[in-house]
Chain A
Amino acid sequence: MLNAAVRDALASAVGARNVLSDPVQLRSYECDGLTGFRQIPALVVLPLDTESVAAAVRVCHEHGVPFVARGAGTGLSGGAMPVADGVVISLQRLRQVLEVDPVDRRAVVQPGVTNLDITKAAAPQGLYYAPDPSSQQVCTIGGNVAENSGGAHCLKYGFTTNHVLSMTVVLPDGEVVTLGGDTGDQLGPDLRGVFIGSEGTLGIVCEITVRLLRVPETVRTLLADFPSVRAAGEVVSDIVAAGIVPAAVEMMDNLAIQAAEKAVGAGYTLDTPAALVVELDGPAAECGSQFEQVKAICDRHGCTRLHIAGDAGERAKIWMGRKAAFAAVGRISPDYIVQDGVVPRTRLAEVLGRIEEMGQAAGLRVANVFHAGDGNLHPLVLFDEDAGELERAEELSKDIAELCVELGGSLSGEHGIGTDKACSMPRMFGVDDLATMDRVRSAFDPGKLCNPGKLLPTPRLCGERPGRYRPHPLEEAGVIERL
């Protein structure tokens, strides 16, 4: 429990009206988008400006209290799970777009602004913010910075790190600094680049300057059905081999298609084994001729139905299905785990085959939604907790992520390591790699108070897994297996 002095200090740092301490209220902050990990915080504060974020962090720093920054709480790796006896610093009252500069094509926003609201604010100027995670209507730019979020269009346009020019950051001791600069570069080493994607462990971002891009002249989108996932995968390879860089290439397998179609009625074919969404954008003439090439490639690989979005509304509908696919899986399965791994694109077919085998061996269904252009998989392991399948599902999901590493890929393409995968990090990185990362962390946060227990494995975390919500004590078996 926090002592009264800390509570008082926090109340005066952010204002008493912006502190939550009712036990029932605190319960609603015990997890983020990954509900399997829960921990009730001691206190939640909702600062109104950068200065009070800094003041709250200074109080934590002075009293040795751990703190966790939280945006919309949509993260899927438990990155915003609170720490026992720690403070949650919610950035949901910092929600202003401070500036849109059409001349230098940039916007200055507070961290609680949603990804999509940046684009909405820029739209009147013919500009937009490129990274578009599937949760863009709700996830916040602060969270995007923490996770280095990508999205369907990052194949062509890159990730958060490629679109953030500079940031005002509250360091773990409460000092307020600027990382990056007007051109993105800062003098000397690229601290902006290190901070973005650090999962809230190096400080709290309070103001972000992002690059805005001009809305492309043309956008062409097609939805193509294929007789197999393999055929769809070959289409992707051929598109890339033709020297085309599509704005997005997304693949869904049959289970994912069924779920998405149930949720939004996007016009997907319910019984097709696989479907691709391919989007090209850019100058009209080039976009048009490349689009014809893509259609020809689709035909060559036995495309069974090709639907071309006729207008912005139809395009939005196609994307709505894709973007809602994770949550939509809730309609075809009582419970599910979203996995996020990456393999070199050329190994997609192999990894999908292995996943299918592993799913069969575990007796669980796996739906696949993924960014095919960059090899980022999102296998969704379907299970029924009431039928006691949780352990098996978690095991399968973890095995899939580690399989990605085995095939030369990564544990995470965009959801982050967080609490969820910290214990798998040794599969991807050696002792020295992790020790070096820990040195970086120490440089920013010697007291290890800023989102502790996330991203890097700790003996405590991977030994006894504190805060892990388990309905019954069978967990021990799983714990041992995890190491």
Chain B
Amino acid sequence: MTERTEPGFDALHPPSRELLDDCVHCGFCLPTCPTYQLWGEEMDSPRGRIYLMDLAERGEIELQGAFTEHIDACLGCMACVTACPSGVQYNRLLEATRPQIERNVERSRSDRLFRGGIFALFPYRRRLRAAAIFGLVYQKLRLDRVAERVLPPRLRATQALMPPVKLRDAFASLPRRVKPDGPVRRRVAMLSGCVQDVFFHEVNVATQRVLAAEGCEVLTPRDQGCCGALGLHAGREDHATKHAKRTIETFEKLPVDNIVVNVAGCGSSMKEYADLLADDPEWAERAKSFSAKVRDVTELLAELEPRAKRHPMKAKVAYHDACHLGHAQGVRAQPRAVLRTIPGLDVVDLPEAELCCGSAGIYNMVQPEPAAELGERKAGNIRAVNPDLLVTANPGCLLQIGRYLDGDVPMFHPVQVLDASLRGRPLP
């Protein structure tokens, strides 16, 4: 941390005046903002946060204190970007503001350690696997019950998110190349993710199978690492750029048409590499052509005319828009369309569909109380439509919602549902 006397932002890429001026203070963003829904306070609305960014940019307020508190409280769900009629790019404002805080605001020791811990764990598959083993032991010994009583809220939140995991899945590796049965319609490379690969290995397997069934040759490079999404959304710019570059390096050498992602948060940040690395002459072009190839798996499937036979599934499916898919990538119609190719499937929307479930990257770990309120609210909205299944395209949402649904409704990734229909098997 650098010693600074001037209030406001430092000179390193602060939120630009031009972007700040786009906000006309109309307030259309308020009802879609999760924290505003919870608290009704102006500073915890997108309009209020932009107002504070504006004041900070003018040097009228300090970053330390209330400013940091309210920016920290933002889930980064980007529902406001969808709602904004003036085209304010809140995503870019937030991504420019968070590094300012990380650089210029002294966090309390426990906050520092906790955030550091998250970034030392989640982006690394090997460490996550170790955690998974620990988690397994932990579950077997019912330590969670002990933990409920003794852990501080943040650690309690983190442990409560840990899903039951099969050891075999956590350590299973994916085939490096999957070929379609018939002619190749598209060649794609798949991001296997960190959390996804350890905790939702079966989603990756289903993705490969579904893509192959629809005529895609799927490459899944072994040497891939974290895409940097968690860091990008938390203002850890160094972390984000380091991992972005590594990911580009890994994938750009593959002879593929598209890079497929089945994790909404990763997809959204990979599409933003072009912005993230725009100022780096060595990387700008490479990032741009990489980002242009990125597709969410449902986006890709919707582009391809269905070829493989779908077996009917009689079920009412509630589809939950992951914020980083719906709001950040604008991918809403495609997953629904893909699900609707399955005969007999009734796809329904949720009340307050635009509202975040509270997962939001690392949010449910660093801000457990609001995340819990949002999780409860989402679970209530899901129960209200009384679905047979809940489907959403993001592991963070699955972990978060799973915790609050408490086993009431089985949950799947859209490709798992499609996979089951293609294979004519019941869902796992």
Contacts and interface: CB of A to CB of B under 8 A. Distances in A.
B contact patch SS: loop
Contact of B28 (A24, A93, A137, A262): A137
Contact of B86 (A95, A137, A327): A327
Interface in B42-79: 42-43, 47-48, 51-52, 55, 60-62, 65-67, 70
Interface in B66-104: 66-67, 70, 83-87
Interface in B26-53: 26-31, 39-43, 47-48, 51-52
B31 A135 contact: no
A258 to B, nearest CB: 13
A290 interface: no
A331 B86 contact: yes
A90 B40 CA distance: 9
A73 B26 CA distance: 8
Interface string B17-28: 000011111111
B85 A135 contact: no
A318 interface: no
A148 interface: no
A74 B26 contact: yes
Contacts, number: 95
Interface string A80-123: 00000000001011010000000000000000101000000000
User: Of residues B21, B27, B29, which shows the largest number of chain A Cβ atoms within 10 Å of its Cβ?
Assistant: B27
Contact of B66 (A25, A90, A138): A25
Given A72-B30, A137-B31, A330 B40 contact: no
B158 to A, nearest CB: 26
Given A31-B25, A138-B27, A327 B40 contact: no
A56 interface: no
B65 A24 contact: yes
Contacts of B66: 22, 24-25
A237 interface: no
Interface in B258-316: none
Nearest to B65: A24
Given A27-B52, A263-B86, A72 B61 contact: no
A33 interface: yes
Nearest to A385: B21
A137 B83 CA distance: 10
A327 B52 contact: no
Interface string A308-338: 0000000000000000101110110011100
A264 B330 CA distance: 13
A269 interface: no
Interface string A456-483: 0000000000000000000000000000
Contact of B27 (A27, A33, A46): A33
Nearest to B83: A137
Given A33-B26, A33-B27, A334-B21, A28 B43 contact: yes
B41 A46 contact: yes
A383 interface: no
A327 B65 contact: no
B31 A138 contact: yes
Contacts of A334: 21
B69 to A, nearest CB: 9
Contacts of B67: 24
A297 interface: no
A28 B42 contact: yes
B25 A28 contact: no
A20 interface: yes
A27 B62 CA distance: 12
A46 B62 CA distance: 25
A129 interface: no
A20 B41 contact: yes
B40 to A, nearest CB: 3
A128 interface: no
A29 interface: yes
A263 B87 contact: yes
A29 B30 contact: no
Contact of A114 (B25, B31, B55): B31
A95 B41 CA distance: 13
Contacts of A139: 27
Contacts of B47: 73
User: Of residues B23, B43, B51, B55, which shows the largest number of chain A Cβ atoms within 10 Å of its Cβ?
Assistant: B43
A52 interface: no
B65 A330 contact: no
Contacts of A138: 26-31
Contacts of A162: none
B85 A28 contact: no
A35 interface: yes
Contact of A29 (B31, B42, B65): B42
Nearest to A74: B27
A137 B30 CA distance: 9
A25 B66 CA distance: 7
Contacts of A93: 39-40
Nearest to B24: A330
Contacts of A22: 65-66
A25 B43 contact: yes
Contacts of B60: 27
B40 A264 contact: no
A95 B27 contact: no
Contacts of B30: 72, 138
Contacts of A92: 40-41
B26 A72 contact: no
B151 to A, nearest CB: 25
Given A27-B52, A92-B41, A112-B40, A328 B85 contact: yes
13 contacts: A20-B41, A22-B66, A24-B62, A25-B43, A35-B25, A90-B40, A95-B40, A112-B40, A264-B85, A326-B85, A327-B85, A327-B86, A331-B87
Given A27-B51, A112-B40, A330-B22, 4 more contacts: A25-B42, A328-B85, A328-B86, A331-B87
Interface of A: 20, 22-25, 27-29, 31-33, 35, 46, 72-74, 90, 92-93, 95, 112, 114, 135, 137-139, 262-264, 324, 326-328, 330-331, 334-336
